[in-house]
Amino acid sequence: MLACAAAAAQGLPPDLAADWAATGLPDESLSLVVEDTDGHRLIGVQPDQPRNPASVMKLVTTFAALDALGPAHVWRTDLMVEPGTRRLADGSLSGPLYLRAGGDPQFQLEDLWLLLRELRVRGVRRIPELVVDRSVFGKVEIDTGAFDGDPTRPYNASPDAWMVGYGAVRLLFMPDLAARRWRVAMDPPLPGVRLEGAPAWSDTPCPGSPSVRTEPFLTSRGVSLRISGTVAGNCGEFDLYRLALTQPAHAEAVFRTLWEEMGGTLDGRIRQGQVPLDAVPFASHASPPLGDIVRRINKFSNNVMARMLLLDIGAAREPGPATVASGGQAVQEVLAARGLAFPELVLDNGSGLSRDGRISAASLVRLLAAAWRSPVMPEFVSSLGIAGVDGTVRRRLQNTAAAGEAHLKSGSLRDVHALAGYVTGASGRRYLVASLVNDPNARQVDPFNDRLIAWLAGQ
């Protein structure tokens, strides 16, 4: 069968051709390239046609980041003070506290807690004023409702130089069996954010993941999240993450909440500014290394982290505040240095959450091949989901020859379904694959893609 595939290098071998026909999709909707790691092409269907790859675009961003910054790269979030600032007898700082944001793509609630804990360990109880320096990035805020009209969904989160927990709050839904009602709690409870309503209670069997609607409303007291829907009581306790505030407002609210929970006081306001050139470090937090960061981005297809990474590449390569444009230019330069000139590439925001992103299947396979030959190959390959095991492909290809044998990145948007990555065949040979479908019925390609990966695993 392998010889048959090699002979049919401009089309599908007979078995896969039948699987493609079963999708009912038009032939012109598919771009597909399969090569082995030696560069021998097995399958090539419209290989150079630019298409929207959805989240498969994250492969471009994460490889460029690993190549440009190195897998050990970390981001620092620093608390700083002016020279001569003292801790007074009552625990007050004698001058402002500065927070220098570093563009950490994975700064979590617990990281902020640990950073504030360092202040308390050093005897600080009162902060006269907090000045946040976001100058590593330029104007990068986006309208979180612009993409699909759902501004509360975490996948729509805006990037920001100081992003805490992706800017999302956790909503915990607890069943009250006696009262036959749902109770909802917000974690952390943020000033300026209120919850209204709860899902209706149902006695039907739990159908699967609960469906809950959250709608934000501006009020005179801040933001209200109106909760609605119907959830079966026997679904049990569950949680959701939702956006309620802008990234700066969310970070400020979380800072105030955690600091007050620790017994601290913030006397003045939180404002944006710049750290003085002669400021000295007071406490600092380092992110996980980039090798760990890209694993979270690719396995779980985290959009806002990918957006942040694009900006971080720009910040590291050029002086001045990073923008989406400077990040995209930096990625192009990194790829060009590897001999990867993709004239059709439209990277947009780097996450794939875009109607405008474009790349060809042939270019994706060239990128996969370059990554395979690069020093960062172990970190890049291990960042992809393992078929039937973890990531976004954990439920795919279970109980097939491909389970555990393919490292893949999936992508889906309205009218787009894509899959790309590495497959280990039964012979020990490794294959590179990129499949892109753009069509109103693109979701129908998934069984074909699974059959393709299983077929390669059997070679």
Indicate whether 452 and 337 sit together in one domain: yes
Indicate whether 39 and 91 sit together in one domain: no
Q: Which of 269, 287, 305 is the last residue of a domain?
A: 287
- What does the pLDDT read at residue 6? 37
- What does the pLDDT read at residue 1? 38
In angstroms, how far is the first alpha carbon of the chain from the final one? 8
Assess whether pLDDT exceeds 60 at residue 9. no
| Token representation of residue 384 | 């992809």
Indicate whether 354 and 427 sit together in one domain: yes
Assess whether pLDDT exceeds 90 at residue 356. yes
Assess whether pLDDT exceeds 60 at residue 7. no
In the sheet where 168-176 sits, what is the strand order? Answer: 181-187, 168-176, 238-243
- CA angle 122–128–129, rounded 5-degree value: 105
Indicate whether 261 and 328 sit together in one domain: no
Based on its alpha-carbon atoms, the radius of gyration of the chain, rounded to whole angstroms, reads 24
Burial track 24-60 (b if 16+ CB lie within 10 A, e otherwise): ebeeebbbbbbbbeeeebbbbbbbebbbbbbbbbbbb
**pLDDT per residue over 157-174, tens digit each?**
999 999 999 999 999 999
Indicate whether 139 and 192 sit together in one domain: yes
Residue 428 — pLDDT band, cuts 50, 70, 90? very high
Indicate whether 282 and 305 sit together in one domain: no
Indicate whether 205 and 279 sit together in one domain: yes
Indicate whether 332 and 428 sit together in one domain: yes
Within 251-364, strands assigned E span: 265-266, 270-272, 280-286
- What does the pLDDT read at residue 164? 98
- Of the candidates 66, 53, 68, 56, the one whose C-alpha atom is nearest the C-alpha of residue 294 is 66
Assign residue 448 the CATH number of its domain. Answer: 3.40.710.10
258's enclosing H/E stretch is: helix 247-261
Quick check: 452 and 42 in contact, CB under 8 A? no
Q: Which of 287, 313, 339 is the last residue of a domain?
A: 287
Q: Per-residue pLDDT averaged across 92-121, rounded?
A: 97
Residue 337 — pLDDT band, cuts 50, 70, 90? very high
Pick the more confident residue, 442 or 191: 442
pTM over 0.75, yes/no? yes
Structural domains of the chain, count: 2
Q: Which of 223, 258, 287 is the last residue of a domain?
A: 287
Class of residue 138 by CB neighbours under 10 A (exposed 0-12, middle 13-18, buried 19+): middle
Assess whether pLDDT exceeds 60 at residue 442. yes
Within 28-106, strands assigned E span: 30-36, 41-45, 76-81, 97-100
Assess whether pLDDT exceeds 50 at residue 14. yes
- What does the pLDDT read at residue 10? 57
Q: In angstroms, rounded to a whole number, what is the distance separating the alpha carbons of residues 445 and 23?
A: 6
- What does the pLDDT read at residue 4? 40
Indicate whether 193 and 153 sit together in one domain: yes
Assess whether pLDDT exceeds 90 at residue 11. no
Assess whether pLDDT exceeds 90 at residue 73. yes
| Structural domain span for residue 67 | 2-72+290-457
Assess whether pLDDT exceeds 80 at residue 20. yes
- With tokens 């590449």, the residue in question is 313
Is residue 89 helix, strand or coil?
coil
3's enclosing H/E stretch is: helix 2-7
332's enclosing H/E stretch is: helix 324-337
- What does the pLDDT read at residue 221? 79
Assign residue 112 the CATH number of its domain. Answer: 3.50.80.20
Quick check: 245 and 253 in contact, CB under 8 A? yes
**pLDDT per residue over 119-157, tens digit each?**
999 999 999 999 999 999 999 999 999 999 999 999 999
- What does the pLDDT read at residue 319? 81
Indicate whether 254 and 153 sit together in one domain: yes
Q: What are phi and psi of 411, to 5 degrees?
A: -155, 140
Assess whether pLDDT exceeds 70 at residue 183. yes
**pLDDT per residue over 186-234, tens digit each?**
999 998 899 999 999 999 999 999 999 999 888 877 899 999 999 999 9
For residue 67, the one-letter residue type is D
**pLDDT per residue over 364-381, tens digit each?**
999 999 999 999 999 999
Indicate whether 418 and 444 sit together in one domain: yes
- What does the pLDDT read at residue 274? 96
Per the prediction, the chain carries an average pLDDT of: 94
Percent of the chain with pLDDT over 90: 93
Indicate whether 46 and 165 sit together in one domain: no
Quick check: 380 and 434 in contact, CB under 8 A? no
